[in-house]
Structure 1
Amino acid sequence: MKLQLSTSLSFLTAAVIFISSCQDGKKLPILGPRAAETVKNADGSTSIDTVYKTIPAFSFLNQDSVAITNDKFKDKIYIADFFFTSCSTICPTMHRNMKEIFEKYKDNPEVMYLSHTIDFKYDTPSVLKKYAQKLGVDDGRWQFVHGSKDSVYKIAENDYLVAVIEDSTAKDGYIHQGWLVLIDKQKRIRGAYDGTDTKQVAQLMKDIPVLLAEDKK
């Protein structure tokens, strides 16, 4: 079964191709939907400002059965993805590549990771805990979170622009995209990379310091 991508997902795919081919040390683009908003200036005049899509407030249980909200990522950039622990297709490759990024930036407290399970039936916090320990990343900077089907699937598709589907005909019962989504300190999408593609993962590793440098200017 092939995922039918929405217009926004198709836009995101095109943007990823642009980033992979053109981004090299320049400021990263802001991805996703945007809107024009009229704002009033200090001198009483008005101007048009662009308002970008941001990740909304959320609350999920992490691998330690602790409620994790977006406050956990305040003043951090983070990489988000969607997976499930029993996945035998793309998830092992995604998280093997993601761990390389984790190891590369393990000494930088401004970089975090957020993996949402889409298996709301089996992947309880205790299962996620064992998964994190087996992966060797259970140190708090990489959060593995569990939530209801509605809450996880909604934020995946509407906000991170990642397609996820529960499908009983699929090999493991679920279908999802393997994007690693780069989020800035303002909760905006700044990049999306195929977590199974070594070239795109390498690009993500190059883009992280570019994004970090924005706040240093």
Structure 2
Amino acid sequence: MSTKKTNYSYIGIAFILLVFGIIFVPKIIDRVKGGDIVRDESRSKDVSSNAEGFVADLMFLEINGIPKKVPPFSLVNQNGETITNDDYEGKVYLVEFFFTTCGSICPRMNRNLVQIQNSFSEFQDFGIASFTINPEYDTQEVLKAYVENYGIINPNWHLMTGDKETIYDLANIGFNIYAGENPNADDGFEHSGNFALIDKNGFMRSRQDNFGNPKIFYKGIVSEEEKIDDDGEAEEISMLKEDIAKLLKEN
């Protein structure tokens, strides 16, 4: 008798599992497909607030295992206003280093930035930080004329000037974007044509390269229309716009 009861118990359990599978599993699958159930890896803790929230699939630039945050700065913009890193808190923004008398890469960089500005004109939480590496010439008045000439209209796009050594430290140490004086270079200065992408919490972000490391920067010289320039460099503006859109969706 005990053997038959055991067999009946197994049969009963198997029947219950079968019914569960037929009725409930398809519904669970539908909920996953419909987005009601989200996998854990698509959510993570915000590194600055430790609050649960959506985080885009963009990497953090880490130094000794610690996500790198924008260094403090305080400079004067084209309107004579003092602008600090706090003014960009809660905003996704791009960083560039340039100078107004640059006749080579700066005009191309800033035309691309204006195109990006226009693509995100509806977003009040998007901005751009442009730091001049020739502050002795690029006064507030010079920067204001540059703004008008290039059609810069985003209220969160500040062209900043100030102490030269402070700006160079900000470029080379703070953002790891090379900038410096060179009497042998065109116009007397050297700098990269790269843009840094900063999230709403002030962290440097980028997508990963083919080796799984952060790209760190985005090439800012080649336009979307060009696709590839004469030196064989491919444009990254379209990639950058995609990643800006991702960060704007972060909580």
CA RMSD of aligned residues (A): 1.5
1:92 is matched with which residue: 107, 117, 121?
107
1:139 CA displacement:
4.4
Stretches of structure 1 that go unaligned for 5 or more consecutive residues are 1-25, 36-50
- Deviates most, 101-110 or 129-138: 129-138
Stretches of structure 2 that go unaligned for 5 or more consecutive residues are 1-55, 207-216, 224-234
- From the two aligned structures, give the one with the greater strand fraction: 1
* 1:165 match: 180
1:213 aligns with 2:213: no
* 1:30 match: 60
1:53 CA displacement:
1.4
Moved over 4 A (4+): none
Paired residues in the alignment total: 176
1:52 aligns with 2:61: no
* 1:183 match: 198
| C-alpha distance in 1 between matches for 2:152 and 2:110 | 10
Report which of the two structures shows the higher radius of gyration computed on alpha carbons: 2
| C-alpha distance in 2 between matches for 1:139 and 1:188 | 21
CA contact (8 A) 1:85 1:123 kept: yes
| C-alpha distance in 2 between matches for 1:158 and 1:166 | 16
| C-alpha distance in 1 between matches for 2:94 and 2:138 | 20
SS in 2 for 1:56: coil
CA contact (8 A) 1:82 1:116 kept: yes
SS in 2 for 1:55: coil
1:103 aligns with 2:113: no
| C-alpha distance in 2 between matches for 1:103 and 1:27 | 24
Q: Which has the higher relative contact order, 1 or 2, with Cα contacts under 8 A spaced 6 or more apart?
A: 1
| C-alpha distance in 2 between matches for 1:99 and 1:143 | 13
SS in 1 for 2:155: coil
1:196 is matched with which residue: 192, 197, 221?
221
* 1:133 match: 148
CA contact (8 A) 2:127 2:154 kept: no
Superposition TM-score, scaled by structure 2 size: 0.67
| C-alpha distance in 2 between matches for 1:154 and 1:127 | 23
Letter of the 1:202 counterpart: S
SS in 1 for 2:236: helix
Same amino acid, percent of matched pairs:
35
CA contact (8 A) 1:27 1:214 kept: no
| C-alpha distance in 1 between matches for 2:85 and 2:180 | 24
1:214 CA displacement:
2.3
| C-alpha distance in 2 between matches for 1:96 and 1:31 | 27
SS in 2 for 1:98: helix
